[in-house]
Structure 1
Amino acid sequence: MSDSKSEMLSTIRKALSEVPDSESPGDVELKRDYLQKGKLSQSEIVELFAERVGEYKATVQRVKESNLKKVIAESCKRENVTKLVIPEGFDKELLPVDIDPLFDNLGSPLTHLVLDQSDGVITTCAHAVAQTGTIILDAGEGQGRRALTLVPDYHLCIVREDQIVELIPEGFSAVESSVTKEGRPITFISGPSATSDIELSRVEGVHGPRRLEVLIVKD
């Protein structure tokens, strides 16, 4: 065991030695005096979300409901997407007529090879957070399993204005029941996949889509 690890474990043991054996984590009240509710109007929240998502190098478009199908078709054409992964529960009426849809469902899931050979995936979302420009997926209708949004190189995500909250605590509260009652996996997406090495050389597409496009739909 390394000296640093031994020192860390020793510090933990020393701290725990002062805790009574009869005490449980639930006996200690946690202070939650941080800001839990935003103060912006819904229009300001949507504007902030669009700005923050754009800062992550994602493509952002504000779309009217009546134009959504047309914009989806234009995005697929611009990105040269023909083989498009479709999660279970996604509205098929929104799909372009000139694509090759790859439908994924629990009874017959697409293989990782098929996902890798696809041109992209289109999904809805559960919620979004303006504060950090984050999209939240909870594997619900139109979102699919986690692999669908990790393997394809392009992710076209539909976010409706009423799904956007201002702060991170509000986002956690919004998906709390998905976790505690339904046990769904939660995925947080803040821009296209990217990482940097020790010399800060940016590499995109390492652990998710290299290209992220967000369509913010006005109800």
Structure 2
Amino acid sequence: MSAREEILTRLRAAVADIPPVEVAREYRRGGVASVELLADRLVDYGATVRRSTRAEVGAAVAECLADAPAIVVPDDLPAHLLAGYRGVVLREPLAVERLDGASAVVTGCRVAIAATGTIILDGGEGQGRRALTLVPDHHVCVVGADQVVAGLPEAVAVLDPRSPQTWISGPSATSDIELRRVEGVHGPRRLDVIIVD
């Protein structure tokens, strides 16, 4: 028996006679799944937010990527999102070195929380793997207005807890070092969000 197995066996034995505790916690639900509130929260965090129609979303993405010579996208990103972009498009799967050479990444999302200004990616269609959104310095995320929910309980209800998730509330930033804000430490310095009505 390994040391790990021995410790786990002891822990299980120590708590074996303790009855399970039922935790009934009622989270506040409701509120308005407001696109305006989501946009306001994202702007507060330092993101750039644009509104678009489905017909014009390709042009909106291209505008966000005007200074990006090469971008990376998930292999299943819908083609209409890149209709106006004229640079080099690298599709997943990519080696980390190639991923690091991309100026920007374009993805969709699974759900967005209006109350907190949080966008959640779960590796589903049009989102790619986690490294895809953490390595390039600029992230363009396309959010459908129908993907916006009011609060955290509503978002958790649509997520699969077994999926790898990335929760994004604005560009990457930290104030851990001498309480000075530093951007781009744990992900992209720039976040552009296009909300499609």
TM-score by length of 2: 0.88
The structural deviation recorded for 1:117 is 1.1
| Partner residue, 1:93 | 80
Is contact 1:128–1:163 with CA below 8 Å preserved after alignment?
yes
| The structure with more radius of gyration | 1
Deviation at 1:198, TM superposition (A): 4.7
CA offsets, 1:56-79, max 9 Å, x none? Answer: 0000011111111111111111xx
* 12, 23, 30: which one aligns with 1:38: 30
The change in CA–CA distance for 1:73 and 1:169 in structure 2 (over 3 A counts) is same
When the two structures are aligned, how many residues end up with a matched partner? 184
- 2:90 equivalent in structure 1: 102
Partner SS state of residue 102, structure 1: strand
In 1, the alpha carbon distance for the partners of 2:42 and 2:118 equals 7
Alignment of 1:23 with 2:7, yes or no, is no
- For the 8 Å contact 1:53–1:133, the answer to whether it is kept is yes
Equivalent position of 1:54 in the other structure: 43
Establish whether residue 158 from structure 1 lines up as the match of residue 150 from structure 2. no
Counterpart-to-counterpart distance in 1, 2:182 and 2:108:
26
Q: Aligned equivalents of 1:128 and 1:185: distance in 2?
A: 16
Structure 1: gaps of 5 or more residues: 1-15
In the aligned structure 2, how far is the partner of 1:203 from the partner of 1:132?
21
Asked if 1:119 is matched to 2:103, the reply is yes
Query: What displacement does 1:20 show?
Result: 6.3
Deviations 1:92-120 (A, max 9, x none): 2321351100000xxxx211111111110
Q: Deviations over 1:97-148 (max 9, x none)?
A: 51100000xxxx2111111111100000000001110000010011000000
- Per the TM alignment, residue 23 of structure 1 is displaced from its structure 2 partner at its CA by 2.9
Question: 2:90 aligns to what SS in structure 1?
Answer: strand
Judging changes above 3 Å, is the alpha-carbon distance between structure 1 residues 50 and 21 closer, same or farther for their aligned structure 2 residues? Answer: same
1:159 match: secondary structure: strand
1:51–1:114 distance in 2 versus 1, CA, 3 Å: same
**What CA distance in whole angstroms lies between the structure 1 residues aligned with 2:166 and 2:193?**
16
Aligned equivalent of 2:196: 217
C-alpha distance in structure 2 between counterparts of 1:97 and 1:192, whole Å = 22
Q: Does 1:196 pair with 2:196?
A: no
Identity %: 48
Please name the residue that 1:9 is paired with: none
